[in-house]
Every structure is written in structure tokens, then in C-alpha cells.
């Protein structure tokens, strides 16, 4: 269980991502937090998890770029 002191320690690094999600870094983990009626839901991402997330984001960006290009090509009538 995460203590209030641990949550408060990262407050100066807290960054609002959007949609009720906050990120902070405690020197070891990137913390993602969102407040619920029952308290805070939290996820701690260490170096391995951050690498995996980075790889996932890179793949998504490539897929989105390919879809965008295919869409633009279809609009212009370009055929391969």
C-alpha cells in the first residue's frame, strides 16, 4: 500500500496529463494516478515498464502515420 507521505513526496513533480490523470516521478518510478470515490488508483512504472510503454507508443505512432498516409493517398486518387 502506498502511503500518503510517498504520494506527497512527488507533488512538486506532479503533472496533469488530462482526463483526471496525473503523472509524477519519484526518482525511481513514473507514477500515474487518478482520484476515485474510494481514493487514488495508482500505477508505478519502473525502467522496464517505461521501455515497454515507449515501444508501444512508437508502434502506435508508426501505425497512425501509415493510416494517415493511406487516407491522404486515397483522397488524392494516388494508387500504388
Q: 4-51, pLDDT tens digit by residue? A: 555 555 566 789 999 999 999 988 999 999 988 998 899 999 999 999
Contact (Cβ atoms closer than 8 angstroms) between residue 42 and residue 33: yes
User: How is residue 53 written as a grid cell?
Assistant: 510503454
Confidence of residue 76 (pLDDT cuts 50, 70, 90): confident
Residues pairing with 39 in the sheet: 36
pLDDT score for 75 = 85
- How high is the pLDDT of residue 11? 61
Per-residue confidence band for 60, with pLDDT thresholds at 50, 70 and 90: very high
Amino acid at each position: 500500500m502506498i502511503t500518503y507521505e510517498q504520494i506527497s513526496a512527488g507533488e512538486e513533480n506532479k503533472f496533469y496529463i488530462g482526463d483526471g490523470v496525473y503523472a509524477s516521478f519519484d526518482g525511481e518510478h513514473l507514477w500515474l494516478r487518478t482520484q476515485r470515490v474510494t481514493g487514488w488508483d495508482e500505477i508505478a512504472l519502473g525502467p522496464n515498464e517505461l521501455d515497454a510503454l515507449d515501444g508501444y507508443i512508437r508502434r502506435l505512432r508508426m501505425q497512425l502515420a501509415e493510416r494517415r498516409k493511406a487516407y491522404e493517398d486515397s483522397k488524392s486518387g494516388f494508387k500504388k
